[in-house]
Structure 1
Amino acid sequence: MSPQEYKIDTLGIVGSGAMGRGIAQIAALAGLTVRLYDSNPAALDAARAYLSETFGKLAAKGKIKEADAHAAFALVHDAQDLSELADCGAVVEAIVEKLDIKRELFRELEAVVGASCILASNTSSLSITAIAAGCSKPERVAGFHFFNPVPLMRVAEVIDGLRGDPRAGDALMQLARRIGHTPVRAKDMPGFIVNHAGRGMNTEGLRVASEGVASFADIDRIMREQAGFRLGPFELLDLTALDVSHPVMESIYHQFYEEPRFTPSPITGTRLAGGLIGRKAGEGFYRYVDGKQQAPEEAPAPTQLPARVWISRASHAAREQVLKVIAKHDAGIHIDCGITPAPESLIVVTPLGFDATTTAVAEHLDATRVVAVDTLFPLDTVARRTVMTTPATTPAMRDAAHALFSADGVPVTMIRDSTGFVAQRVVATIVNIGCDIAQQGIATPEDIDLAVTLGLGYPRGPLALGDSLGATTILTILRNMQSVLGDPRYRPSPWLTRRAQLGLSLTHDEERR
């Protein structure tokens, strides 16, 4: 059977919630006949009303012609019974995330649809192979995972089950392009590409918060304004809502047999139990008033600059970054050039992956005067800087460091001691998990980066991000964190280690013979 024989002009959709109606919207606008089924007639009526209103709004805003709005709505047909999906070239289920219920639905669909109809699941984390196992023709079962809101999130993951016919996946790739989405191809592994890769930001952000390093808002500010992400981990969790994201975290963790990299946090479990699920509930990690996030204001920075500053020579490049910041404000600060710091000097260190305490001890420094500044992202280009203290750093030295690094108008977030600060450890985890997805052959390097930029809105995909910062730098951060903490979650991926050693791009995929 060639891909062309999987002819998809009529698309069945089972489930008329946010995902089902979103898929129906883009399919109808692309000219496909849509048969929309829901076991709840009221839900089906609500979806029809939503689609009618949405097509009308698009026309009123000039995004589509009025005639096209009417034509699209006319292509969406109610299905009162599954038997009405008999002529569909593909049926996409978008129902509850429960394996037994999906299996039962697919068994029912097999008795209805034609032999060349593709049965596709919009599951976000369940195994396609497991769903297909209940079917007599598992080869035509595939994953077709969209993201909410479907019309705006223009990426679709096509997932091949172990018994799947690749040509069915090829047909879904073609369908995704036809309805205006960018398809990416993945093997059947927990979380596929996007939800798998997303563990880096969310689980590591939660780990930072659970260690008391910084507040939710401060972690978000660092990831936005220092690391350059559109949203921080807690803003993202509020947007997706914990009633969706926490079960996915648990599902992926258990499907990978308790892989330490994906360990969920009790923070989200507790907040889910308390109903603090996110933006749609009016309260999550932030409160929302009329849909607007209410973030706590930052206290003004101290103004008393240190008289003397000693800067570690462990990294020449990092030392030059610090000197460049100090040179901006010509306040008569004396740079202590001694081999060891003078008794009154503020001591600045610039670790990669290590915490301030470990660095102070390794360099035989007075921990009461030590602060560490994160130089992973150049200090003169970022919109925010991060400075951390040791548990012994005095308030006077902490405040002097805060004043020093914010004197040129760039805001500074002061954090408690942390291996890898905040940005270093979160970014390194994102890159490392992306590398493992590539190592496992779940998707090509190109599709990994494409899926993450489109599906998660990251400024770069994990592999391109690692290249931009340097694979050796990311490897150093991970190894140093693991050496301090002994935590297997930070063990480097072989994909990262080998490419760093050979000086290859993280996007380099070896030729298969």
Structure 2
Amino acid sequence: MDPLSQNARIAVIGAGAMGAGIAQVAAQAGHPVLLLDNRPGAAAQAIAAIDQRLGQRVLKGKLEQSALEAIRQRLQPAQNLEQLADSDLIIEAIAEQLPAKQQLFAELEALCRADCILASNTSSLSITAMAAGLRHPQRLLGLHFFNPAPVMALVEVVHGLASDPALAQCLYRTMSRWGKHPVHTRSTPGFIVNRVARPFYGESLRLLQEGAGDCATLDALLREAGGFAMGAFELTDLIGQDINYAVTCSVHSAYYGDPRFQPSLIQKELVDAGYLGRKTGRGFYAYAEDAPRPAAARLSSDSAVEHCVLEGDLGWAAPLVQRLEAHGVQVIRRDGRSMLRVGEAILMPSDGRLAGQRARDEGLGNNLVLLDLALDYRQASRLAISCSSAIAPQALDQAVALLQRAGLQVSRLSDTPALAVLRTVAMLANEAADAVLQGVASAADIDLAMRSGVNYPLGPLAWADRLGLEPLLKVLEHLQGAYGEERYRPSLLLRRHAAQGRGFHDCA
């Protein structure tokens, strides 16, 4: 089905930040737009704020004055619901309360033409439930924009059980015409982003709770090794601890208490205390003007390292060897079982086991140092290591000296399975795999959603393909073995693809 024509009349109900942003996007795309809010004067105020923001763009030379005037003419406040009767698409952006949305859509169905498409901007409520009371539920879909709507590219096009696939395709193509990155998703709890992103927060929260590292160090590792724009603690402080915690609780409840989505007691305590993040001046971090920002922990060494021995290859950490050589370290190559030797230390990429467990399993002694994952070992500025408490101080110092010689800041975590970045990426990929398995969305749409919606450096399934599904499966199996919890159970689809030797995007 073709996208809506540029002359199609768009209405947006709700003049808060999301509704106003959506109205701006539609008007900028060339549509006549009506904005309605039940608060007197709210729609006109929102339009005035849009005009002011776009005026700033004109002053900066990013928008022509003529374009601003055209947008002004297309964007108008509505006084009542009846003015929306002749709309071609109505997007609801009111409070996240299912009964209120159901009532609104019932009124719109009675008021509007039969070919008017109805859409909800809900981020978490069921489109199927929302449409259940309508005479024609097929006309209702979800259009989940991300905040701020004029800036964020992603739009989740959400299909309820009764939604018309042709209308879904129409909205998908319309969003593309509006300059967005649309993705198709079924109406399941959390859709794509709010479901697949849960491990990003959950694994850092668990590591903090277990004392594996502090907030500043874990955040720095996700940024400086993992390539994420923000770490979990600074991001939840930005989102609001109350909002992030509520979404986690909602997804956990909707999936009947699946431990993969288990909320964090640490985060609950912050919410209970009113430490909600930036908006209250305190969350995991303090935001007063004079509040010091804690530094990430790092180890340092004064030892000089001129050479190391590479046995076999380092798998996904192989680019680290290139980096060492680029920094003047002589790498002596031998056959063997995938490790670096420097002095008394043995360095190996983590496979998800505890350092002490792996050393015992493989007869490696006490001086094993495990390396965390990095998005790009050649560019990362920081890397996590872990080892058993029985490691010889000299061996630890030699390992740190080697990594330091390559220009890396080294942060030590306690002996914890899969460290920080590897654990997070493995669980993101695992959740994404289950979403594909359950028909929520395609692998391509999930990766696009996570890149465009939450700015991940790679889609989790593309990252899984890069690392290799069989080694990633082993990481999850070792995590599950270490904890003995269903939280870390590998997805059936991940097992299936690993057994077939195929990547997620080979099967897309």
If the length of structure 2 is used for normalisation, what is the TM-score? 0.89
Three-state SS of the structure 1 residue aligned to 2:111 is: coil
Three-state SS of the structure 2 residue aligned to 1:111 is: helix
Tell me what 2:98 maps to.
99
Q: How far is 1:457 from its partner?
A: 0.8
Tell me what 2:85 maps to.
86
What amino acid maps onto 1:402 in structure 2? V
What amino acid maps onto 2:60 in structure 1? K
What amino acid maps onto 1:421 in structure 2? L
Tell me what 1:462 maps to.
460
Looking at structure 1, the residues matched to 332 and 469 of structure 2 have their Cα atoms a distance apart, in angstroms, of 36
Tell me what 2:42 maps to.
43
What amino acid maps onto 1:156 in structure 2? V
Tell me what 1:158 maps to.
157
Structure 2 residue corresponding to 1:430, chosen from 425, 428, 431: 428
Query: What do you get for the CA RMSD once the two structures are aligned?
Result: 3.4
Residues 440 and 398 (structure 1), Cα distance of their counterparts in 2 relative to 1, 3 Å cut: same
What amino acid maps onto 2:271 in structure 1? L
Q: How far is 1:401 from its partner?
A: 3.8
More deviation in 497-506 or 309-318? 309-318
Looking at structure 1, the residues matched to 312 and 350 of structure 2 have their Cα atoms a distance apart, in angstroms, of 8
CA deviations over 1:176-227 (Å, ceiling 9, x no partner)? 1232212111111111111122113122222222221111221121112212
Tell me what 2:135 maps to.
136
What amino acid maps onto 2:460 in structure 1? P
More deviation in 295-304 or 172-181? 295-304
Tell me what 2:303 maps to.
305
Q: How far is 1:7 from its partner?
A: 9.5
8 A Cα contact 1:453 1:461, kept in partner: yes
Residues 401 and 127 (structure 1), Cα distance of their counterparts in 2 relative to 1, 3 Å cut: same
Q: How far is 1:108 from its partner?
A: 2.3
Three-state SS of the structure 1 residue aligned to 2:113 is: coil
CA deviations over 1:111-148 (Å, ceiling 9, x no partner)? 32221111111011111001111222211110000000
1:184 aligns with 2:183: yes
8 A Cα contact 1:437 1:443, kept in partner: yes
8 A Cα contact 2:317 2:373, kept in partner: no
Looking at structure 2, the residues matched to 145 and 31 of structure 1 have their Cα atoms a distance apart, in angstroms, of 20
Percent same amino acid at aligned positions? Answer: 36
More deviation in 494-503 or 184-193? 494-503
8 A Cα contact 1:310 1:346, kept in partner: no
Tell me what 1:390 maps to.
388
Q: How far is 1:366 from its partner?
A: 4.7
CA deviations over 1:443-473 (Å, ceiling 9, x no partner)? 1222111111111111111111111111122
Residues 311 and 507 (structure 1), Cα distance of their counterparts in 2 relative to 1, 3 Å cut: same
Looking at structure 2, the residues matched to 254 and 508 of structure 1 have their Cα atoms a distance apart, in angstroms, of 34
Residues 180 and 126 (structure 1), Cα distance of their counterparts in 2 relative to 1, 3 Å cut: same
Residues 334 and 174 (structure 1), Cα distance of their counterparts in 2 relative to 1, 3 Å cut: closer
Q: Which runs of 5+ in 2 are unaligned?
A: none
Structure 1 residue corresponding to 2:294, chosen from 289, 292, 296: 296
CA deviations over 1:492-513 (Å, ceiling 9, x no partner)? 1122112122221212337xxx
Tell me what 1:361 maps to.
360
8 A Cα contact 1:19 1:148, kept in partner: yes
Looking at structure 1, the residues matched to 306 and 464 of structure 2 have their Cα atoms a distance apart, in angstroms, of 36
How many residues are treated as equivalent by the alignment?
505
Looking at structure 1, the residues matched to 430 and 45 of structure 2 have their Cα atoms a distance apart, in angstroms, of 43
Q: How far is 1:408 from its partner?
A: 3.5
What amino acid maps onto 1:361 in structure 2? R
Tell me what 2:27 maps to.
28
Tell me what 2:72 maps to.
73
Tell me what 1:259 maps to.
258
Q: How far is 1:293 from its partner?
A: 10
Tell me what 2:477 maps to.
479
Three-state SS of the structure 2 residue aligned to 1:288 is: coil
* Aligned 1:114-263 pairs, distance under 5 A: 114-263=113-262
8 A Cα contact 1:51 1:73, kept in partner: no
Looking at structure 2, the residues matched to 41 and 295 of structure 1 have their Cα atoms a distance apart, in angstroms, of 43
What amino acid maps onto 1:479 in structure 2? E
8 A Cα contact 1:144 1:159, kept in partner: yes
1:499 aligns with 2:497: yes
8 A Cα contact 1:23 1:151, kept in partner: yes
What amino acid maps onto 1:110 in structure 2? E
CA deviations over 1:372-422 (Å, ceiling 9, x no partner)? 223666755532221113244466654554344223431011111111111
Residues 46 and 498 (structure 1), Cα distance of their counterparts in 2 relative to 1, 3 Å cut: same
8 A Cα contact 1:8 1:89, kept in partner: no
Looking at structure 1, the residues matched to 99 and 134 of structure 2 have their Cα atoms a distance apart, in angstroms, of 12
Structure 2 residue corresponding to 1:439, chosen from 426, 434, 437: 437
8 A Cα contact 1:309 1:346, kept in partner: no
Residues 120 and 477 (structure 1), Cα distance of their counterparts in 2 relative to 1, 3 Å cut: same
CA deviations over 1:20-61 (Å, ceiling 9, x no partner)? 010011111111111111111253343122112112112222
Tell me what 1:52 maps to.
51
8 A Cα contact 1:312 1:348, kept in partner: no
Looking at structure 2, the residues matched to 387 and 266 of structure 1 have their Cα atoms a distance apart, in angstroms, of 26
Residues 294 and 148 (structure 1), Cα distance of their counterparts in 2 relative to 1, 3 Å cut: farther
Tell me what 1:285 maps to.
284
Looking at structure 2, the residues matched to 134 and 81 of structure 1 have their Cα atoms a distance apart, in angstroms, of 23
Looking at structure 2, the residues matched to 86 and 375 of structure 1 have their Cα atoms a distance apart, in angstroms, of 55
Three-state SS of the structure 2 residue aligned to 1:468 is: helix
Q: Which runs of 5+ in 1 are unaligned?
A: none
Looking at structure 2, the residues matched to 169 and 294 of structure 1 have their Cα atoms a distance apart, in angstroms, of 49
What amino acid maps onto 1:242 in structure 2? Q
Looking at structure 1, the residues matched to 414 and 486 of structure 2 have their Cα atoms a distance apart, in angstroms, of 23
Looking at structure 2, the residues matched to 504 and 391 of structure 1 have their Cα atoms a distance apart, in angstroms, of 39
Looking at structure 2, the residues matched to 159 and 319 of structure 1 have their Cα atoms a distance apart, in angstroms, of 38
Looking at structure 2, the residues matched to 7 and 132 of structure 1 have their Cα atoms a distance apart, in angstroms, of 27
Three-state SS of the structure 2 residue aligned to 1:143 is: strand
